[in-house]
A and B are shown apart, each in its own frame.
Chain A
Amino acid sequence: MTPYLVVLAVGLGSYAFRVSMLVVAARSTSGLPPVVERAARHAVPVSFAALATSAVADSGGNGSLVPLLAVGAAVVAVRRTGSPHAALLVGLPVVWLVSAVLP
């Protein structure tokens, strides 16, 4: 499957999610099963964590500590400030600094 077809499939699937309850709503008022609600609530943090870990593992595949140190610094910065933007504001300079210092 080409990248274009994958993007199209994700787009169509996402659109189906978007219209799903509009279609169902006319017939039912009982809402979604609780298990689906719980799954949807956790989908974003869990997915982001898995994706970030995979990306860091791939970036550090050659033994480089740069991505690990940068993400570590980013997590600390976000925890301290409460702002997600701190991750990039702190993480990227750490990447450049450590890359310049380490061989």
Chain B
Amino acid sequence: MLALDRRDGDVTRGARAMAPWLVGVVPFGLVIGITAAHADIPAAAGWLTGPLIFAGSAQVATIQLLAGGGAAIAVVAAALAINLRLVLYSATMAPHWRSLPRRTQALAAYTLVDPTLAVGVRAYDSSADPAVGHRHYLGAAVTLWLAWVAAITVGLTVGSALPRALHLELVIPLFLAGEVVPRVTNRASARAVTVAIALAIVGRWVPLHLGTFVAIAGGIAVAVVTEREAP
């Protein structure tokens, strides 16, 4: 009984550790839902980005590019370029999850994204017993998933009722701009972002709506080359 209580406590502590993240995550989910409601794509497709992709930035890219008439291959490539970081997250969690059954690893991996990585790693690092970390991760991941899908659902429902005069189509570019600024921390990132902006402007004339993908690829290429050349 005592062991059961302790296990429940680990899960609850994981859920609580996720709470501060929800302050930023829930508004983001609402914004995605509102954007999907106003975008020129089926509402159900916009909603499905939540449970299927489960990564806000890639969801934004998918909805924005689909709504803009982007070619399917360009939309998929751009969204996956954004989610490339998940490979690194997978590498980070691999040592912690090695002892888990494959089916459990497969389920845990589905919820792997920025907040669960941060909360999960902290739990594994602070406990000598991996099982405590597993339960902590479970509580955090379930909390995030429920909050994320609920926020998108609410945004989608409320968003369609809001008047166009509110210019909610500008919510996402404003949100994105706000997320870019703190991430420009050195010359390489500044050059990369500058190149991406320039290519995105020029890319409006690239056929098949490939301009955004070209801008992302160009910006990342500049960052990689610039960092390699730095002493």
- Which residues in A have some Cβ–Cβ distance to B below 8 Å? 1-11, 13-15, 17-22, 24-26, 31-32, 35-59, 66-67, 70-71, 74-75, 78-79, 82, 84-88, 91-92, 95-96, 99
Contacts and interface: CB of A to CB of B under 8 A. Distances in A.
A76 to B, nearest CB: 9
B24 interface: yes
A9 B166 CA distance: 33
A20 B93 CA distance: 11
Say whether chain B's binding surface is mostly helix, strand, loop, or mixed.
helix
A55 B79 contact: no
A62 B79 CA distance: 27
Contacts, number: 276
Contact of B204 (A54, A74, A91, A92): A54
A42 B219 contact: yes
A43 B97 CA distance: 26
A91 B174 contact: yes
Top 9 A-B pairs, shortest CB-CB distance:
A87-B178, A11-B52, A25-B94, A46-B219, A21-B90, A1-B72, A53-B200, A50-B215, A21-B91
A9 B170 CA distance: 27
Contacts of A88: 27, 171, 174-175, 178
B177 A71 contact: yes
Given A47-B81, A54-B212, A88-B171, A19 B90 contact: yes
Contacts of A70: 170, 174
Contacts of A58: 68, 204
Contacts of A5: 72
Contacts of A13: 76, 79-80, 83
B109 A44 contact: no
Contacts of B42: 3-4
Given A10-B58, A46-B220, A47-B61, A99 B167 contact: yes
Contacts of A46: 192-193, 196, 215-216, 219-220, 223
B118 interface: no
